[in-house]
């Protein structure tokens, strides 16, 4: 099979701004493409990764009104989680859902297509189940529902494949028992420590573990988490540990249990068979609970995708972009 996974050309925002969402937080947003086109909200991953310019290129700017935002504490949003003085109590899944709805109202969008991957799939699902009447379609890749069992797999269970790296990860959190119980909560404390040296080491250890789980995909040729600029890296590790130490403030299994709220919303779930970060079992469960979603498992893709996976995502977004609003 031949794939033509060519993203749209680079594009600059035609509008951008900072949205005051309360609690001293201001969320960065930008809008690209056709102002009269179909609204598409891009929901970035992480949590805490922020929106890069590449995400603007996933959707047809001629047919779509492309809206991106940096979730609280990361990217260009303020205050930034890399600053230990930033209060993380006001950074939860419920806060992010409220921010998305406030942004929708600010931009006068009636309904929008949601596109997200990894953590972005969790947040998109949580938003859609809270506000199903505001969602026209959903396209998700590298799907996770951020259950505690899924987080436990990533930060403890995957150790059976990468024992050397996991030993180093566990050693970075003194006092954590040999089985790693409580390791994410320990890193949540360390990445918010007032001592910059402690924060820097914890961030480096966290990112090194994240990169190790991607080793099968990168073959060590790149370290996508470690290679980030320091402020972005600090915010990413702190926000990730903060969210996962609290089960993303979601009742265990709630997004699967409440998938019926998505009835009538067309969906596409696109997932790599080789994804070690988010094993394919979760997306299989979600597809069974959400009959309006079509599931595609891409055999050669992991968490970071592949040409075949990118091709499928682009084609699906193009198809939904042409659907009636």
Indicate which residues carry an active-site annotation: 118, 275, 303
Long-range contacts of 196-203 (CB under 8 A, 24+ apart): 199/84, 199/234, 199/238, 200/230, 200/234, 201/172, 202/172, 202/173, 202/237, 203/233, 203/234, 203/237, 203/238
**Please, are residues 96 and 71 in contact by the beta-carbon 8 Å criterion?**
yes
Taking the C-alpha atoms of residue 55 and residue 44, their distance in angstroms, rounded to an integer, is 8
**Please, are residues 287 and 318 in contact by the beta-carbon 8 Å criterion?**
no
Environment class of 242 (CB within 10 Å of its CB; exposed 0-12, middle 13-18, buried 19+)? buried
In the three-class reduction of DSSP (H, G, I as helix; E, B as strand; rest coil), residue 229 is classed as coil
CA distances from 152 to 33, 70, 136, 168 (A): 40, 26, 33, 17
Burial track 123-159 (b if 16+ CB lie within 10 A, e otherwise):
bbbbbbbbeeebbbbbbbbbbbbbbeebbbbbbbebb
């Amino acid at each position: 099979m031949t794939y033509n996974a060519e993203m749209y050309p680079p594009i600059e925002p035609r509008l951008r701004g900072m949205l005051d969402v309360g609690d001293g937080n201001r969320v960065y947003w930008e809008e690209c493409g056709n102002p009269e086109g179909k609204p598409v909200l891009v929901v970035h991953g992480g949590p805490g990764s922020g929106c890069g310019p590449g995400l603007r290129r996933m959707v047809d700017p001629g047919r779509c009104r492309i809206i991106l935002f940096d979730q609280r504490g990361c990217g260009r949003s303020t205050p930034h989680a890399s600053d230990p003085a930033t209060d993380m109590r006001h950074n939860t899944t419920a806060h992010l859902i409220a921010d998305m709805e406030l942004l929708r109202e600010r931009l006068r969008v009636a309904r929008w297509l949601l596109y997200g991957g990894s953590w972005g799939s969790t947040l998109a699902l949580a938003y859609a189940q809270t506000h199903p009447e505001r969602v026209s379609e959903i396209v998700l890749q590298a799907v996770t529902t951020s259950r505690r069992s899924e987080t436990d797999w990533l930060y403890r269970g995957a150790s059976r494949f990468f024992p050397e790296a996991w030993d180093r990860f566990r050693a970075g959190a003194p006092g954590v028992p040999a089985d790693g119980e409580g390791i994410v909560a320990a890193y949540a404390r360390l990445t918010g420590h007032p001592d910059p040296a402690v924060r820097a080491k914890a961030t480096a250890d966290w990112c090194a573990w994240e990169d190790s789980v991607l080793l099968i995909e990168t073959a060590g040729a790149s370290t996508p988490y470690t290679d980030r600029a320091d402020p972005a890296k600090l915010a990413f590790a702190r926000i990730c540990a903060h969210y996962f130490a609290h089960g993303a403030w979601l009742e265990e299994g709630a997004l699967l249990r409440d998938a019926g709220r998505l009835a009538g919303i067309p969906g596409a779930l696109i997932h790599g068979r080789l994804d070690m970060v988010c094993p394919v079992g979760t997306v299989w469960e979600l597809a069974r609970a959400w009959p309006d979603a079509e599931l595609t498992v891409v055999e050669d893709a992991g968490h970071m995708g592949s040409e075949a996976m990118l091709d499928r995502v682009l084609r699906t977004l193009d198809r939904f972009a042409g659907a009636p609003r």
